[in-house]
Amino acid sequence: MKYRRLGRTGPEVSAIGMGRGSQAVKFGEPLEQSFNDAIHRALDLGINLFDSSDAYWGARHEELLGRALKGRRDQALIITKFGNLDLPDGKKGTNGKPEYVHQSCDASLKRLGVEVIDIYMLHRVDPHTPIEDTVGAMARLIEQGKVRHIGICEAGAATLRRAHKTHPLVALQTEYSLWSRDCEREILPTCRELGISYVAYAPLGRGLLTGRIKSFDDIPATDRRRRHPRFQPENLVRNVELVAKLDAMAKAMNVASAQLALAWLLAQGADIVPIPGTNHVRNLEQNAAAVDIELSADEVQRLSRVFVPGAGAGERYMPNTLKGVGI
């Protein structure tokens, strides 16, 4: 495994981290054992960055991750997040109020079964609470020894600057992949100006860049991707055509499409750390091996030209959800 530093003062992390898998896991079911096996194999491979949130799987993800890391906590760096709420009416909400910051942190520490969170992040910016108030409360968690470093997710450039001025951030977490390159215009340059690393979630385009999704019917009936514009039948036809070009290039290089997509992302800069999500050892091993793929400048440019921003059809989120990002 290769390693990269988060921010100017943050920890050294594996070049590829581990996000949550797309399939929800319940306690005691067979899939929990697969989840545990994947976590343990990740540690064996030198992956040390594990991403979670109190919003994942009804907060079960934190508990499951904590259980899986028992006995090996010293080998792991945990990211967890707060402030992204599922409201009773089915809509999404946010909460960045200082008192909620402290309540959420205490609850996450308990669920994870740890004494300190390595990187604590605001999952979504609360438009009704000044970011200085939220980040100020997060900074106090560092003073109290409950958190080592802080970061935020899905923030706009102006908010990112204000947050970093309040207390140094080690990372911003936002979607980034061959499929989602909007961050290259303003967000990524701002991160680099401020010395903030970029933790890229959905680096495989929520599975689209693996080449396994050929039609709408390939998406499970209960999978929320069925509601995402990118995966709607009318858009998927165009998008699968683009991925076929990635597949062809990957086959010529004797690597998997997912590995080539991750290698392209890693080649965008040493400040970028993708966190593909999986619950399965086979996928994990494939993802981890991508760090050893060295792309030439020409290969990087070929992929960049195929997946030029705007080439794909459909936004990454539904319109209502998009309103909550980039604030």
- What's 83-150 look like in SS3? CEEECCCCCEEECCCHHHHHHHHHHHHHHHCCCCEEEEEECCCCCCCCHHHHHHHHHHHHHCCCEEEE
Between CA 4 and CA 10, with CA 8 as vertex, the angle to 5 degrees is 65
Report in angstroms the alpha-carbon separations of 17 from 81, 154, 310, 320: 16, 18, 27, 29
Active site residue 56: yes
Structural domain spans, the chain: 3-206+268-293
pLDDT at 300: 97
pLDDT at 136: 98
Span 113-135, pLDDT tens digits = 999 999 999 999 999 999 999 99
Q: Which CATH architecture has domain 3-206+268-293?
A: Alpha-Beta Barrel (3.20)
pLDDT at 286: 96
Q: Could you list the mean pLDDT of each consecutive 10-residue stretch along the chain, which spans 327 residues? A: 96 97 85 94 98 95 97 97 88 94 98 98 97 98 98 97 98 95 96 98 92 84 81 89 95 97 98 96 96 97 94 80 81
pLDDT at 317: 75
Six token digits for residue 235: 């858009």
**Beta carbons of 77 and 48 less than 8 angstroms apart:** yes
| CA–CA gap between residue 112 and residue 26 (Å, rounded) | 15
pLDDT at 319: 73
pLDDT at 132: 98
Task: Catalytic residue, from 56, 100, 120, 198: name it.
Answer: 56
State the angle between helix axes of 157-166 and 131-143 in degrees (0 to 180), rounded to the nearest 10.
Answer: 40
**Beta carbons of 126 and 95 less than 8 angstroms apart:** yes
Which letter, b or e, does each residue of 121-130 get, where b requires 16 or more Cβ atoms within 10 Å of its Cβ?
bbbbbbeebe
pLDDT at 256: 97
**Beta carbons of 278 and 286 less than 8 angstroms apart:** no
Six token digits for residue 323: 């309103």
| CA–CA gap between residue 269 and residue 47 (Å, rounded) | 19
Q: Alpha carbon 124 to chain centroid distance?
A: 13
Q: What is the pTM of this model?
A: 0.94
